[in-house]
């Protein structure tokens, strides 16, 4: 169960850029941030400095920096810790509020199976499965409510973190013991055009490494990460305390950054935007969705995450972007603190996912908010059932009230309920596309 301080963090994570914050937010300065060796992974700290020193211009893109601090195989945030998520970690997600999120998602997956004509096998590919909570809840619910669908399911987990994959395997051991086909594969290991079913994720895309750009008098430029002269690559641990990563501004590292804004029809120029306007570009999401589409023969891509349509994401008022850091259930704006020990995220541009999908025959079926999505799948009925319960046992009553509170949190329009839910499809017939999916209907 999520405590109130933890839930407050979720709300802050999604709504740090409300109207009041937008106008009072202190801009990200382009000067050295203090990097604290005592609270950072010193080996990762030095590895990044050495990488910087080996570059011709002694700098790396912010995307490279973010990739290393999160995913470096030996020392990255997700690679080395098995408690980064949940009450003991740095943040929580919808599945930590109980079984309901996974069960209602399973209801939508079963509906997709019917919409596709009950194919066997029915591939479910969960990308970024966290601690395996969703997978366990989905399989349990399908076994109880849709056993025929479960018999057709082949469940694949795509997980970059070895630590999280180990935790998932432990949690799903009962299903493996029953012979339920659950496997762990990378996207590269899945044959092209082989998936008939649904690829889905919850809070995955926000963790992809992002480029950071800034609007200057010279036009749109990129933010790089560097070390002060004379310190890059030093391995002397005694000098580690004096090392400070700094940000430098330079030409765009790739033309894809300018093409990204052209694709969205957004022109970042002084006049329309303030000088110093800073934001992110998630090119990794482009590569990800392209690869998923190539694997999908027929079915759906379901993406749940916090984010905005492009016009809201790149509003002139949102002048410092959406990058946030999470450390021990507290959030801040310094990505150079707690290296290897904190999470870094940026909001998702859902318009970009739609545009990129259209390039490779992926059509958008619908976009909604998580609150509406879960209500359409029956969350309201669950709340009503609790309200009509007759319970004499105080312990049972407290348990029911906590569950009711968790259900409300899943649909809270000021928090998780405002997460975006994007459903795209490939290879469906006209009739299949015309059939409304449960999660995209209007709740009654």
Q: pTM for this one?
A: 0.87
User: Has domain 1-431 been given CATH number 3.40.50.12710?
Assistant: yes
> Is pLDDT of 267 > 90?
yes
- Give me the mean pLDDT over the 315-343 stretch: 89
**pLDDT recorded at residue 85:** 60
Segment 23-69, tens digit of pLDDT: 222 333 343 444 444 477 888 989 999 999 999 999 999 999 999 99
Residue 372 pLDDT level (bands cut at 50, 70, 90): very high
Mean pLDDT lowest among 123-127, 227-231, 234-238, 275-279: 234-238
Mean pLDDT lowest among 146-155, 290-299, 313-322, 405-414: 405-414
**pLDDT recorded at residue 241:** 47
Is the link from the previous residue into 121 a cis peptide, with omega within 30 of 0?
yes
> Is pLDDT of 10 > 50?
no
3-class secondary-structure state, position 24 = helix
Top-confidence residue, 357 or 388? 357
Among residues 326, 415, 334, 323, the alpha carbon closest in space to that of 90 is found at 326
Measure the CA–CA gap between 418 and 306, rounded to whole angstroms: 8
Give the pair of three-digit tokens for residue 127.
């990308």
> Is pLDDT of 1 > 50?
no
Domain boundaries, the chain: 1-431
Measure the CA–CA gap between 357 and 100, rounded to whole angstroms: 30
Measure the CA–CA gap between 169 and 76, rounded to whole angstroms: 21
Residue 96 pLDDT level (bands cut at 50, 70, 90): confident
Find where tokens 């190539």 sit: 294
Share of the chain above pLDDT 90, in %: 70
- Give me the mean pLDDT over the 222-249 stretch: 69
Strands (E), 153-293: 153-158, 182-184, 195-202, 211-216, 219-226, 246-250, 278-281
CB neighbour burial string for 189-226, b if at least 16 within 10 angstroms, e if fewer: ebeeeebbbbbbbbbbbbbbbbbbbbbeeeebbbbbbb
Question: How are the residues of the chain apportioned to helix, strand and coil, as percentages rounded to the nearest 5?
Answer: 45, 20, 35
Share of the chain above pLDDT 70, in %: 84
Q: Is 9 exposed, middle or buried (0-12, 13-18, 19+ CB in 10 A)?
A: buried
> Is pLDDT of 4 > 90?
no
- Give me the mean pLDDT over the 259-272 stretch: 95
The DSSP-derived string for 375-419 is: HHTTHHHHHHHHHT-----HHHHHHHHHHHHHHHHHH-TTTGGG-
**Angle at the Cα of 11 from the Cα atoms of 6 and 13, rounded to 5 degrees:** 90
């Amino acid at each position: 169960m999520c405590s109130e301080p933890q839930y407050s963090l979720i709300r802050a994570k999604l709504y740090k850029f409300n109207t009041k914050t937008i106008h009072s937010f202190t801009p990200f300065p382009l000067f050295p941030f203090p990097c604290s060796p005592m609270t950072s992974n010193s080996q990762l700290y030095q590895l990044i400095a050495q990488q910087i020193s080996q570059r011709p211009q002694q700098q790396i893109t912010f995307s490279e920096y973010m990739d290393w601090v999160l995913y470096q195989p030996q020392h990255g945030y997700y690679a080395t810790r098995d408690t980064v998520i949940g009450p003991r970690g740095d943040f929580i997600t919808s599945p930590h509020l109980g079984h309901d999120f996974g069960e209602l998602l399973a209801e939508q997956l079963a509906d997709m199976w019917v919409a596709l004509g009950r194919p066997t096998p029915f591939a479910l590919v969960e990308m970024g499965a966290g601690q395996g909570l969703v997978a366990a809840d989905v399989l349990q619910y399908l076994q109880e409510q849709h056993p025929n669908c479960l018999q057709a399911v082949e469940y694949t987990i795509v997980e970059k973190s070895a630590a999280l994959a180990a935790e998932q395997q432990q949690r799903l051991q009962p299903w493996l013991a029953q012979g339920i086909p659950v496997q762990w594969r990378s996207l590269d290991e899945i044959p092209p055009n082989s998936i008939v079913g649904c690829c889905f994720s919850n809070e995955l895309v926000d963790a992809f490494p992002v480029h950071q750009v800034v609007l200057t008098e010279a036009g749109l430029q990129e933010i790089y990460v560097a070390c002060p002269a004379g310190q890059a690559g030093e391995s002397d641990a005694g000098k580690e305390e004096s090392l400070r990563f700094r940000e430098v501004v330079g030409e765009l590292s790739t033309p894809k950054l300018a093409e990204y804004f052209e694709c969205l029809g957004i022109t970042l120029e002084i006049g329309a935007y303030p000088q110093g306007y800073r934001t992110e570009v998630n090119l990794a999401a482009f590569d990800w969705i392209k690869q998923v589409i190539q694997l999908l023969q027929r079915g759906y891509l379901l993406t749940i995450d916090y984010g905005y349509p492009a016009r809201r994401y790149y509003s002139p008022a949102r002048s410092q972007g959406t990058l946030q850091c999470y450390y021990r259930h507290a959030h801040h704006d310094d990505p150079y603190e707690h290296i290897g020990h904190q999470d870094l995220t940026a909001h998702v541009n859902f318009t970009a996912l739609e545009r990129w999908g259209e390039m490779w025959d992926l059509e958008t079926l619908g976009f909604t908010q998580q609150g509406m999505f879960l209500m359409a799948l029956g969350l309201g009925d669950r709340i009503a059932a609790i309200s009509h319960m007759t319970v004499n046992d105080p312990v049972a009553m407290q348990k029911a009230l906590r569950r009711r509170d968790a259900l409300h949190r899943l649909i809270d329009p000021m928090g998780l309920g405002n997460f975006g839910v994007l459903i795209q499809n490939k290879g469906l017939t006209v009739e299949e596309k015309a059939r409304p999916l449960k999660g995209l209907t209007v709740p009654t």
